[in-house]
Structure 1
Amino acid sequence: MKRFLRENSLGLVFGLLFLVVLVLQALAGHADYNQQQITEGLPPISLGRYVTSASFGVDVAENWQSEYLQFFLYILFTVWLLQKGSPESKALDKPGRETEKEQKIGVYADQNSPKWARVHGFRLFLFSNSLGLVMGALFVLSWLAQSIAGVAAFNEQQLADLQDPVTWAKYLTEPDFWNRTLQNWQSELLAVASMAILAIYLRQRGSSQSKPVGTAHTATGVEG
């Protein structure tokens, strides 16, 4: 068990932190929602009803979709785009998809290579692009979940204001939807740009996301 915890500590800690923060978000969101209910002369609702509501669903989904968009674009762009001096970039002489030998594909696979790295055709294509494809699919699914929960929450407010509800397609043109969406996108893109550029000049000893402390600022694609 100790070995399992040590070898999987990064994923386990972030998974635990995710659950803790999600619970705290639910509690804080529930309190805020009920404050608004009381202000508007409406009865408060239970925590169980709140976490199954469209209001909570859209708040969660809009954050998830922006995170998966960040990773999808980062995975895709780092195939071709470079940043001199950044450990987040590949070496300056290795843009692109690289050779089969460098990627250990087909006859260049070693004994520890995954089975699908040894095959050809569609399966190899699928496995070679599986990380980007899954991240892209998760982005689309969470964006869809945000839009569905968002239109439900939006229509609840429309009815409370004695206005007509809108269709899902119409909601996609509403400022409310794009305000929620774009404010998350810009924050994620800023975070990626900051990491790629700040890591050129700043260090974190022992981190795989940083260059070794004594490495030159111009060293590219070097991780600690």
Structure 2
Amino acid sequence: MRAQPSSPCLVQVHTNLPPGIDAPTTAYLHLSISMFRACQTGKRRVGSCRKPPDELSVRVRWWGEPTTGECAVFNPRLAHKVGHKQLTATRARYRITVPLERFTAYLKDMRALYFDVLDDAFARAIGRARLDRIDRLTANHPLDTLLTVINDVGEKIGDLTVALSIEPVAVFSIFSFDGRAAVGLASARANKENLGDENAPDSRIAESAANAVRGDSPNKPNGTTDRLPLVNSREECGAAVSKVSAFGL
């Protein structure tokens, strides 16, 4: 799955989360890599510290993404180039396609998320940052942290400013008295930022269902409604569900 960004600040993603599971969206994971700050070159470290790169990217590959395939590439702002024009791509949004408790289990199994830092001018990796205990991330507990970037000989070359959060999708259902789902759908807004029109049909279905429950029909004159009555029995519930079905759901 490839998502096309519509904003220069958005990063193109190539997977759902967890990777390989194509199912309805239950939530969105927002990942931001906003800044890279190179370490200061001390007088005693002039010989070992290199000049900070003028062009830098950060690659993020989630556990389960193909190692030979494409992955998300971020272009954070460079602290040592503040005041200069910079082309940035700092934010990505991933579709979560499993219940959130299962997603937490996936994060626990993953243990850590890695950020590979590349010098774009020379097309080579210059360091890596690591976010440990990523299962701390929940819908009620976003992560906002500063990660140390280490080079291949264990020296610190800088810091990455990273933030992650989970945005649950609102779900509403109508159930009959015998427990069978009469109507069940995810009423998420369309992911217009970096998922294009992929979720637009789901959005139209959600809007149609919501209108049906409110009694708002596109075929009704303005000011008239056909609201569902309160149901007090199994038979009345069945009649209410039939009325929802009449709207084409």
Name the TM-score, length of structure 2 as normaliser: 0.26
Specify the structure having the higher radius of gyration (Cα): 2
Say which structure is richer in helix.
1
